[in-house]
Amino acid sequence: AHENTGLQSQPPPEEQNYGATAAHVRQGPFASVSRLCWNGPAKRDYLVTAVLCYVNLINFMDWFIVPGILLDIQKYFKLSDGDTGLLQTVFVVCYMLAAPVFGYLGDRYNRKIILGAGIFFWSGVTLGSSFVSELYYWIFFISRGLVGIGTASYSTIAPTIIADLFEEGKRTTMLSIFYIFIPVGSGLGYVLAAGMADVTGDWHWAFRVTPCMGGLALVLLILLVPHRTQRKTAAHRALSISGTIRVAPEKPGVQRTAKTTWCQDVVSLAKNWSFVWSSLGLTAMAFVTGALGMWVPLFLYRAQVVQGIVSPCLQEPCDSSNSLIFGGITIGTGILGVIAGAEAARRLRKINNKADPLICATSMFVSALCLYTALMVARTNILSTFIFIAFGELFLSVNWAVVTDILLYVVTPRRQSTAIALQILVTHLLGDAGSPYLIGIIASAIQAKNAPSFQWSFWSMQYSFIVCAFVGVFGGGFFLLTSFYIEEDRKEAEK
């Protein structure tokens, strides 16, 4: 280990912070690198990232257990399409309303404690929801809302910890790996729900697996995740032969951790046009993915009934093969999409500084076209429907890590948890908080105006889904607008 050859002053108590601003303490001209591995991040950083990825997996498995057994739940609680869509809306609304609170806490207090409390809370509520009887459907709705509150604590804070652990090049890679677990967890949620319903003959068992996984995640979090992390910045790159880092002394009277109020942070972010337009683009993504995630298995089932491929399900348990197939598609396209998006961004940034938003815009336009085609061929060819849905999901998944990386380099580190929380609030408020319910309401309204039949049951869902294709086009437009501002905002954040 290298000896500490320089001076390192401790920040005064009022500047100490457990949140994303923890790294920005005042230092003298030299800082020790005794515990820093310059050939790559320390092994502990990789272990911490692995734990966070594992929890992200559980997080999104819990999100998509309900859509995986949607037909069973609809039959069990005797819900209409509109009421069924409201089930996911309750979850997302509670999630998005809780996000700004956890963003505020994450920028100011110990993130490890917040994460642990969130995991414990949402795992316990998920387990409890598996014992709700058909007479108390409203309790089931409330439980999904509480799970949304618990998961908000994680989704808001975890990316900022990864951002602290890695420098810019590695950060994109690590965030890509982290966001791969969104589609993987979503797909496994379908697979778990459908598989447990098939094996046990009782869909309630689908809600009793992830709480056990959450218990393991809590243990790993306590053992491996540090209480505080320090942001790897450009200042760390100037490594001298003696094994110390040359850090420029701060100007007199300048405090890196200058305190700002939450309102000041929000006003600053509202003036950051790259953040605003990319958040609206992500909102369109959330709208489409929320609607698809909730309704696609049921839509495929209705298309198969109309084609005479399967018989109508009159009582649960119902055939869940569509959930299994859709879950597999979600996993595969998610992994490929996130990897392809990160690699495309890495290569194209060398050529064009606006590469990130242009990649997002292009993928949104192509995804919208694929999804529209899938809807049009569903009446006659179910295989083509699966193929075009797969391509639609693939191009949506391209954006996950890229959008988050945009946020992390156009927003100053001490506002990142707040920025992520606000982005969660906006994207879910205008996106997937309403899209499952909106699709269900439109479908129910169309059915109400026509004689009950399997044909109209399918057509109502098909017509309502067309909304998603148009929203996807708007999303591409928002990312194009982002490209006009991204260079200026990035330079501003780097100051």
In this structure, are 71 and 199 located in the same domain? yes
The reply to whether 248 falls in a domain is no
Instruction: Kindly report, residue by residue over 412-427, the tens digit of the pLDDT.
Output: 888 887 888 788 788 8
Is residue 250 included in any domain, yes or no? no
Does the pLDDT value for residue 250 go beyond 80? no
Task: Tell whether 396 and 319 lie within a shared domain.
Answer: yes
Predicted local confidence at residue 428, as pLDDT: 81
Residue 173 lies in a domain: yes
Shared domain for 227 and 281, answered yes or no, is no
- Going by pLDDT thresholds of 50, 70 and 90, the confidence category of residue 383 is very high
Give the sign of the dihedral formed by CA 340, CA 342, CA 348, CA 353.
positive
Query: Are residues 305 and 228 part of one domain?
Result: no
Asked, for residue 251, whether it belongs to a domain, the answer is: no
- Whole domain around residue 359: which residue ranges? 263-494
Residue of higher predicted confidence among 400 and 319: 400
Give the residue-averaged pLDDT of 444-451: 88
Q: Which of 14-18, 28-32, 160-164, 216-220 has the largest mean confidence? A: 216-220
Residues in the chain: 495
3 domain-assigned: no
Quick one: average pLDDT of 477-486?
A: 94
Please report the pLDDT score of residue 283 as a whole number.
94
Q: What is the pLDDT of residue 368?
A: 96
Is the model's pLDDT at 477 over the cut of 90?
A: yes
Domain match, 225 and 278 both: no
DSSP string for 234-287: GGGG-B-TTSEEE-PPPPTT--TT----HHHHHHHHHT-HHHHHHHHHHHHHHH
User: Is residue 169 located within the same domain as residue 273?
Assistant: no
Whether the predicted pLDDT of 315 surpasses 80? no
Given this model, what pLDDT does residue 228 score?
63
pLDDT in tens, 136-161: 888 988 998 999 888 888 888 888 88
DSSP 31: E
What per-residue confidence (pLDDT) applies to 158?
85
Asked if the structure places residue 9 within a domain, the reply is no
pLDDT at 19 over 60: no
Mean pLDDT in the chain?
80
Q: What is the mean pLDDT of residues 465-472?
A: 94
Count: domains in the chain:
2
Look at residue 123 and tell me if it is in a domain.
yes
pLDDT at 22: 40
The pTM assigned to this predicted structure is: 0.72
* pLDDT tens, residue by residue, 83-97: 888 888 888 888 888
Radius of gyration of the chain (CA): 23
Say what the pLDDT of residue 100 is: 80
Which of residues 486 and 26 earns the better pLDDT score?
486
Whole-number Å distance between alpha carbons of 454 and 264 = 54
Q: Which amino acid is at 223?
A: L
User: Does residue 25 belong to any structural domain of this protein?
Assistant: no
What pLDDT score was predicted for residue 433? 83
Helices within 107-207 (DSSP H only)? 111-129, 137-165, 168-200
Task: Flag whether pLDDT at 251 surpasses 60.
Answer: no
**Per-residue confidence (pLDDT) for residue 36, from 0 to 100:** 40
Assess whether pLDDT exceeds 60 at residue 248.
Answer: no
The answer to whether residues 317 and 411 belong to one domain is yes
277 and 181 fall within a common domain: no
* Rounded Cα gap, residues 374 and 472, in angstroms: 14
Question: Which pLDDT tens digit goes with each residue over 56-72?
Answer: 999 889 888 888 888 88
Tell whether the model's pLDDT for residue 303 goes beyond 50: yes
Element (H, E) at 30: strand 30-32
- What pLDDT was estimated at residue 87? 84
Identify whether the C-beta of residue 302 lies closer than 8 Å to the C-beta of residue 454: yes
pLDDT in tens, 184-242: 888 899 889 888 888 888 888 889 898 999 999 999 988 887 766 555 544 443 333 33
CATH of residue 139's domain is: 1.20.1250.20
The last residue of one of the domains, among 210, 232, 254, is 232
